[in-house]
């Protein structure tokens, strides 16, 4: 494939606006020197949102290419950021009732094999997956059943496991669970109660018999029919068993069995914000039944029963993809986000000279490797990712349960250098997007989790500084709204176990039940002290697009001047949030339609990803 961008364009080569970079030492550029090079001075419009949707005419005059495609030259990538699925762990296979048959050996010993264990259902967050559409379409996932045991002591095969691979950034919530073990235990308790009652009656009648021999018959006649074995439904009887054999059958107590996989307690709430080095168990398969040799005893040399395989749990789960990509492109409609995605990646996102061409997110992957002069992001210096904990959702008001031992990163885990990153092109934001105007709010969720925010500003559509401020205002308002929502949810989730409610709602105590309010180990509020910080604290930069158009240089100069002032602390962060990230607010000019400036963007993103 031919290279998309001009080879040899140096990382920091100011190819679009050389005059702006002539004096590298001075950050603030004298406007006079720029205006002399401007062919047609631009007339910036004060309201970016009003002008941003106006079509830029230049793309129509350019020949069609991959970066300037016809409006119908695009590929729709299936995408879903939500899915509801039902997962069924595999039931255990039944044990086998069998006896050795050989010549001259009429009644051979029991040799029924054990049933295989049912398959488990796991979940794993992996790089490379970008959507939940496959799961949304499939809806039901079943792990394999354990196979039934065979004669000749042959055990049944284990059921196949299912590993659900989801994109990094997926949040999993349990909606409902059907656990046959819970039902069985309840049934067992009832049956055991009946059995105890019967045993009491028998004891009483025997005591009466011991007192008066002649009333024996009368008392015995009054005894109700003996209840069935409490675990009768767990046994599998030999099909050829006669009625009398069945009546005289005394079933043993079920042997205690060691479980290899313990079903995680519910409700499950997983936040898979990092790749999981090992799959996380969601639903444990049922254990296999025991073959009849397990029940051989001196009194029962030929057991005519085996045990059934255990039925397994089913979970209804809601998956939500929050982190769509490492980098989120945030821009007004028609700013050139999709063209930029095409220029940076192999994406075939739809491009059109009108607002809202993009109606659902497009994800592109940038592959980093040294052969193309692209740097590789070094592995994180921090410790390996914290083990994911299965917690009970704050919404349900329960105490957090951490299963760190089971779910942690494997021993010797070393993070690998990043060899790729993903970019999400989301539909354009308009004023009031945080109030669900336009297509914004649905997709602002994705911005919330992206590691780096790239604000795409169209240099040919009015004042770039105003456009940037408008975008940040929307993002900032959205961030605060989300924090309020989260806070409300957290407060609603606090529970008063003992019901006296005397403690303050801020009590965070996990010890003692003596009238204390026990509060779940909730995550700290998203934004820290200052509202909106959970987004404003992310590293960000501005991609100034359509730099090839005439009259954009002046606009770019003002944008750069403004961002330099933000970096130097002379101007507040465009969102107005105190303590927001302002370390190095850059504006990179590009002409996506010509593939100019893309390498520089990739280098810049790599630098920011390394920091984030």
Ligand X SMILES: Nc1nc2c(ncn2[C@@H]2O[C@H](COP(=O)(O)OP(=O)(O)OP(=O)(O)O)[C@@H](O)[C@H]2O)c(=O)[nH]1
Binding site for Mg ion (CB under 5 A): 338, 357-358
User: Which of 182, 117, 151, 470 has the alpha carbon at shortest distance from 314?
Assistant: 182
CB of 455 to ligand X, least distance (A): 12
Q: Which of these ranges, 239-247, 291-299, 480-488, 585-593, lies near ligand X under the rule CB under 6 A? A: 585-593
Say how many C-beta atoms besides its own lie within 10 A of residue 239's C-beta.
7
Using the rule CB under 6 A, give the single segment among 96-104, 346-354, 512-520, 551-559 that binds ligand X: 346-354
Q: Does residue 428 bind ligand X (CB under 6 A)?
A: yes
Token readout for 452 is: 């780096």
Nearest one of 84, 210, 67, 207 to 138, comparing CA atoms: 84
- Rule CB under 6 A: choose which of 111, 205, 307, 338 binds ligand X: 338
Maximum pairwise Cα distance, the chain: 127
Does position 130 bind ligand X by CB under 6 A?
no
Interaction partner, residue 56 (Mg ion, ligand X, none; CB < 5-8 Å by kind): ligand X
Residues 34-73, mask of contacts with ligand X (x by CB under 6 A) = ----------------------x-xx--------x-----
> Interface with ligand X by CB under 6 A: which range of 225-233, 386-394, 571-579, 588-596?
588-596
DSSP 436: T
- Residue 385 DSSP symbol: P
Residue indicated by tokens 């050389």: 18
Query: What is the contact mask toward ligand X in residues 517 to 556, using x (rule: CB under 6 A)?
Result: ----------------------------xx-xx-------
In the list ligand X, Mg ion, none, the entry touching 440 (Cβ below 5 to 8 angstroms by class) is none
- The answer to whether residue 431 forms part of the interface with ligand X (CB under 6 A) is no
- The region of 42-50, 281-289, 326-334, 553-561 touching ligand X under the rule CB under 6 A is 326-334
The residues, any chain, with a CB within 8 Å of residue 78's CB and separated by 6 or more, are 131, 133, 134
**Least distance to ligand X, CB of residue 340, Å:** 7
How far is the C-alpha of 155 from the C-alpha of 95, rounded, in Å? 8
Binder among 52, 150, 263, 357 for ligand X (CB under 6 A) = 357
231 binds, among Mg ion, ligand X, none (CB under 5 to 8 A by kind): none
We find the least distance from the C-beta atom of residue 477 to ligand X, in angstroms, to be 19
Q: What are the strands, taking DSSP E only, across 44-155?
A: 82-88, 121-126, 140-142
Q: Does 77 bind ligand X (CB under 6 A)?
A: no
User: Min. distance of Cβ 339 from Mg ion in angstroms?
Assistant: 8
- Among residues 329, 393, 424, the alpha carbon closest in space to that of 173 is found at 393
Whole-angstrom distance, CA of residue 65 vs CA of residue 16:
20
The beta strand positions in 509-555, using DSSP E, are 540-545
Tell me the C-alpha distance between 365 and 323, whole Å.
14
Helix (H, G, I), strand (E, B) or coil at 453: strand
Contact (Cβ atoms closer than 8 angstroms) between residue 268 and residue 395: no
Q: Of 51, 205, 292, 334, which one interacts with ligand X (CB under 6 A)? A: 334
Span of 138-146, 206-214, 333-341, 474-482 interacting with ligand X by CB under 6 A: 333-341
Task: Residue 170: name its binding partner from Mg ion, ligand X, none (Cβ under 5 to 8 Å by kind).
Answer: none
| Site size toward ligand X, by CB under 6 A | 28
Alpha carbons 262 and 273: distance in angstroms, whole number: 24
| Residue 447 binding ligand X, by CB under 6 A | no
Contact between 560 and ligand X per CB under 6 A: no
355 binds, among ligand X, Mg ion, none (CB under 5 to 8 A by kind): ligand X
Pairing of strands 140-142, 82-88: parallel
Q: Out of 118, 264, 333, 589, point to the residue binding ligand X (CB under 6 A).
A: 333
Asked if residues 509 and 517 have their Cβ atoms less than 8 Å apart, the reply is yes
- The SS3 assignment for 330 reads strand
Q: Which stretch binds ligand X (CB under 6 A): 131-139, 164-172, 347-355, 372-380?
A: 347-355
β-pairing, 170-178 vs 269-272, is antiparallel
Comparing CB distances to Mg ion, the nearer of 312 and 423 is 423
Apex CA 299: angle with CA 294 and CA 302, to 5°? Answer: 50
Q: Rounded to 5 degrees, what are φ and ψ at 377?
A: -70, 125
Question: Contact at 8 Å (CB) between 439 and 359?
Answer: yes
Taking the complex as a whole, how short is the minimal distance between the CB of residue 345 and Mg ion, in angstroms?
Answer: 14
- Return phi, psi of residue 437, to 5°: -85, 150
Under the binding rule (CB under 6 A), the answer on residue 591 touching ligand X is yes
> Tokens representing 112?
């029924």
330 binds ligand X (CB under 6 A): no
Residue whose CB is less far from ligand X, 194 or 445? 445
Question: How far apart, in whole angstroms, are the C-alpha atoms of residue 447 and residue 432?
Answer: 16
- Choice between 64 and 502, CB closer to ligand X: 64
- Check binding of 131 to ligand X (CB under 6 A): no
Site string for ligand X, 179-218 (x = CB under 6 A): ----------------------------------------
CB of 55 to ligand X, least distance (A): 7
User: From the CB of 556, what's the least distance to ligand X, in Å?
Assistant: 13
Between 353 and 419, name the residue whose CB sits nearer to ligand X.
Answer: 353
Continuous segment of H or E residues that includes residue 271: strand 269-272
Q: Identify the residue among 339, 347, 398, 552 touching ligand X (CB under 6 A).
A: 339
Contact flag: residue 598 with ligand X (CB under 6 A): no
* Listed ranges 334-342, 406-414, 573-581, 601-609: which one lies at the site for ligand X (CB under 6 A): 334-342
Which of 355, 457, 465, 479 forms a contact with ligand X (CB under 6 A)? 355
Q: How far is the CB of 453 from Mg ion (least distance, A)?
A: 17
Strand-pair category, 280-283 with 121-126: antiparallel
Q: Is residue 321 classed as helix, strand or coil in its secondary structure? A: strand
| SS (HEC) of 199-237 | HHHHHHHHHHHHHCHHHHHHHHHHCCCCCCCCCHHHEEE
- Can you give 19-67 as a three-state secondary structure string? HHHCCCCCCCCCHHHHHHHCCCCCCCCCCHHHHCCCCCCHHHHCCCCCC
Residues that bind ligand X (CB under 6 A): 56, 58-59, 68, 331, 333-339, 351-353, 355-358, 427-428, 545-546, 548-549, 591-593
């Amino acid at each position: 494939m031919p290279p998309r961008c001009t080879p040899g364009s140096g990382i920091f080569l100011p190819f679009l606006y050389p005059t702006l970079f002539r004096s590298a030492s001075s950050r603030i550029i004298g406007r006079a020197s720029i205006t002399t090079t401007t062919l047609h001075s631009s007339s910036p419009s004060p309201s970016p949102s009003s002008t941003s949707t106006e079509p830029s005419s230049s793309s129509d005059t350019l020949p069609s290419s991959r970066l300037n495609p016809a409006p119908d030259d695009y590929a729709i990538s299936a995408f879903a950021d939500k899915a509801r699925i039902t997962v069924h762990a595999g039931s255990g296979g039944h044990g086998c009732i069998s006896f050795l048959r050989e010549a001259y050996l009429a009644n051979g010993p029991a040799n029924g094999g054990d049933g295989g264990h049912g398959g488990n259902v796991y979940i794993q967050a992996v790089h490379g997956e970008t959507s939940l559409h496959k799961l949304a379409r499939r809806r039901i996932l079943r792990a394999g059943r354990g196979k039934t045991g065979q004669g000749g002591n042959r055990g049944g095969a284990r059921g196949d496991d299912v590993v659900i691979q989801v994109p990094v950034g997926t949040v999993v919530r349990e909606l409902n669970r059907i656990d046959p073990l819970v039902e069985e235990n309840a049934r067992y308790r009832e049956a055991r109660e009946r059995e105890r009652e019967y045993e009491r009656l028998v004891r009483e009648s025997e005591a009466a018999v011991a007192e008066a021999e002649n009333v024996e018959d009368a008392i015995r006649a009054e005894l109700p029919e003996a209840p069935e074995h409490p675990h009768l439904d767990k046994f599998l009887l030999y099909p050829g068993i006669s009625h009398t054999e069945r009546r005289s059958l005394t079933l043993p107590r079920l042997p205690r069995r060691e479980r290899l996989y313990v079903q995680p307690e519910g409700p499950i709430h997983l936040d898979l914000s990092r790749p999981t080095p090992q799959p996380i168990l969601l639903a444990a398969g049922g254990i296999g039944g025991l073959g009849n040799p397990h029940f051989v005893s001196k009194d029962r040399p030929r057991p005519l029963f085996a045990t059934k395989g255990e039925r397994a749990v089913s979970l209804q789960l809601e998956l939500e993809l929050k982190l769509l990509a490492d980098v989120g492109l945030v821009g007004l409609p028609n700013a050139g986000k999709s063209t930029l995605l095409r220029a940076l990646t192999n994406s075939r996102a739809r491009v059109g000279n009108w607002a809202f061409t993009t109606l659902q997110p497009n994800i592109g992957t940038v592959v980093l490797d040294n052969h193309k002069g692209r740097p590789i992001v070094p592995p994180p210096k921090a410790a390996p990712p914290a083990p994911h904990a299965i917690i009970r959702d704050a919404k349900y008001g329960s105490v957090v349960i951490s299963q760190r031992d089971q779910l942690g990163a494997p021993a010797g885990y070393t993070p690998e250098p990043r060899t790729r990153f993903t970019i999400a092109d989301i539909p354009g934001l308009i004023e009031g997007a945080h109030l669900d105007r336009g297509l914004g709010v649905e997709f602002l969720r994705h911005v919330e989790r992206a590691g780096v925010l790239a604000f795409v500003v169209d240099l040919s559509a009015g004042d770039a500084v105003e456009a940037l401020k408008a975008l940040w205002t929307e993002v900032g308002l959205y961030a605060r709204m989300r924090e309020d929502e989260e806070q409300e949810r957290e407060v609603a989730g606090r529970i008063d176990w003992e019901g006296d409610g005397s403690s303050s709602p801020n009590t965070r105590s996990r010890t003692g039940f003596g009238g204390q309010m026990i509060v779940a180990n909730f995550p700290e509020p998203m934004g820290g002290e200052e509202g909106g910080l959970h987004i404003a604290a992310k590293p960000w930069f501005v991609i100034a697009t359509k730099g090839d158009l005439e009259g954009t240089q002046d606009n770019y100069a003002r944008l750069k001047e403004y961002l330099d002032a933000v970096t130097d602390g002379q101007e507040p962060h465009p969102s107005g949030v105190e303590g927001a990230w302002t370390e190095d607010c850059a504006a990179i000019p590009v002409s996506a339609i010509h593939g100019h400036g893309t390498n520089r963007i990739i280098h810049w993103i790599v630098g920011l990803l390394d920091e984030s």
